[in-house]
Structure 1
Amino acid sequence: MSRNSVSAGGGDLPDTSRSSLPLPKREVLADSVYEAVKAMVMDHVIQPGARLGIEALSRTLGVSATPVREALARLEADDLVVKRSLSGYRATELLTRAGVEELFEMRLLLEPRAVALATERIEEAGLDRLEALADEMQALPEEGDTYADYGRFAALDQEFHDVLAVASGRTLLAAAVERLHSHLHLFRLSAIAGGSPATVQEHHRILRAVLRRGPRRAAEAMEEHLRLSLQRQLDRFASVAGADED
């Protein structure tokens, strides 16, 4: 993964960030600051484990400390930063291979059950949304190596799974799926070459099963998707390990 990583530990962030992050008017300032800091974390401009200084971020983005604090609180809810007593906010560490395997273990327990329930309960509005998400994902260009390139695909991917979880009618189950924040953590490792077309095809198989109101087929399609996605992630780790040995 080739990214220009710099530490955001108590000093200023790179001036190049300022020119690429134009901030809009007051009413959407908080969202803009959130997306700006999120992009820095996802792209490793702020390195995993590095401290996020509120004053440094404020200077870099040309805003007051208030929207920066709000952004960091939202990112803490996303599990992209962690707040520690006496040391402030730090970017969370990247998932390890074991962490990825554990994440998918949880997803395999939760999401096939969720989609089976959703198949029996989802309403027309939910089906329309799933179809729109699948179509938009298919229309997007192949993602690049920065959050600006793959961010939209990642958001659509997450929403596809969340819509199905919510449609299950099980509040705790849907909340558990959402709390995993799996797409943010996985895409933060870097985009996978060829991952988008495979994901789109697998989503369409899930969608067809849901449209046919087949709970078992939908659960099987979701399980297959998750196992294939896990294998793509493990292949990434193997590729990185092989490159380190060369």
Structure 2
Amino acid sequence: MRPARRLTLTDEVYEAVRAQVMDHVVAPGARINIDALARELRVSPTPVREALARLEADGLVRKRPLVGYTATGLLTRDEFDELVDMRLILESAAARRAADRRREIDIDRLRDAADLPGPVPDTQGYASIAAFTAQDARFHHLLAEESGNRMLHDAVVRLRPHLHLFRLHFPTTHYQTSEAEHHRIVDAVAAGDPDRAADAVRDHLLAARARHLPHFRQA
């Protein structure tokens, strides 16, 4: 077992490098120089390599033979549409199954996860939305977990949509509307109504899609 101090350092480096990728300090497609990054963060190359391995699992960086690590490109419009389509399939099914299992799941835990924090004061860029992003992901992952289907849950988690979407664009209207949409999903699950739960997820994902679309028009 590694010492807690080492684990804390690795986590800190991971968060620092992830913020650089999310904020485009490391530009999409740019090569990542491990030694330069280690000097910048004042750490050895080892925790940087460990952080990059985790970011590769997140889909935020890519390791290529003879090149090393590069930041992944931003979602194209076609990839964005494919991601939304996949989420509609998976997460609607998860909500339907969760509603069917109403008596077996912890509704209070799901309701707590539906709450979303606002922007972090006195911060900019990814730092201001990191808490929102993490909690939003937690809600969707928990909903998939409550489906009772481990493979369905794993598929939802592997998509990492929150990192990819909010790296691309963060509509401020998410702050006003996403939490209310989450609670409509929870209400439907709590009522044990599979059709209503699936519809609530669909409405939420399509509304989120509409909030992101202006980015592609501007681009």
CA distance in 1, matches of 2:168, 2:94: 26
Could you tell me which of 143, 155, 160 is aligned with 1:176?
Answer: 155
Percent of aligned pairs sharing the same letter: 51
Specify the SS of the correspondent of 2:69.
Answer: strand
- Per-residue deviation at 1:125? 6.4
Match of 1:50 in 2: 30
Compute the RMSD of aligned alpha carbons.
1.9
Q: TM-score with structure 2 length normalisation?
A: 0.92
What letter matches 2:169 in structure 1?
S
Match of 2:183 among 204, 210, 226: 204
Name the SS for the 1:51 alignment partner: coil
Question: Which residue does 1:72 correspond to in 2?
Answer: 52
Correspondences of 1:6-45 after superposition (within 5 Å): 25-45=5-25
What is aligned with 1:237?
216
Name which structure has the greater RCO, CA cutoff 8 Å, separation 6+. 2
Structure 2 regions of 5+ residues with no counterpart? none
The amino acid that maps onto 2:57 is A
Answer yes or no: is 1:140 the counterpart of 2:80.
no
The answer to whether structure 1 residue 213 and structure 2 residue 174 are counterparts is no
Deviations 1:111-145 (A, max 9, x none): 1011110122256763222222223x1x5348975
Alpha-carbon deviation of 1:25? 4.9
Point out where structure 1 has 5 or more consecutive residues left out of the alignment.
1-23, 242-246
* Distance (Å, rounded) in 2 between the aligned partners of 1:196 and 1:181: 20
Q: Give the C-alpha shift of residue 233 in structure 1.
A: 1.3
SS in 1 for 2:100: helix
Q: Aligned runs of 1:36-185 on 2, under 5 Å?
A: 36-121=16-101, 126-135=106-115, 137=116, 139-141=117-119, 146-185=125-164
What is the CA deviation profile of residues 57-81 of structure 1, one whole-angstrom value per residue up to 9, with x for unaligned ones? 1000000111001000000000000
Q: Tell whether 2:146 aligns with 1:193.
A: no
* Contact 1:142 1:196 (8 Å CA) reproduced: no
Change (3 A) 1:125 1:67: farther
Give the TM-score of the pair, scaled to structure 1. 0.82
Alignment partners' CA distance in 1, 2:139 and 2:155: 15
Separation (CA, whole Å) in 2 of partners of 1:180 and 1:159: 13
- Does the Cα contact within 8 Å between 2:98 and 2:105 map onto a contact in 1? no
Deviation at 1:234, TM superposition (A): 1.3
Measure, in 1, the Cα distance between the counterparts of 2:166 and 2:16: 16
Distance change (3 Å), C-alpha of 1:127 and 1:181: same
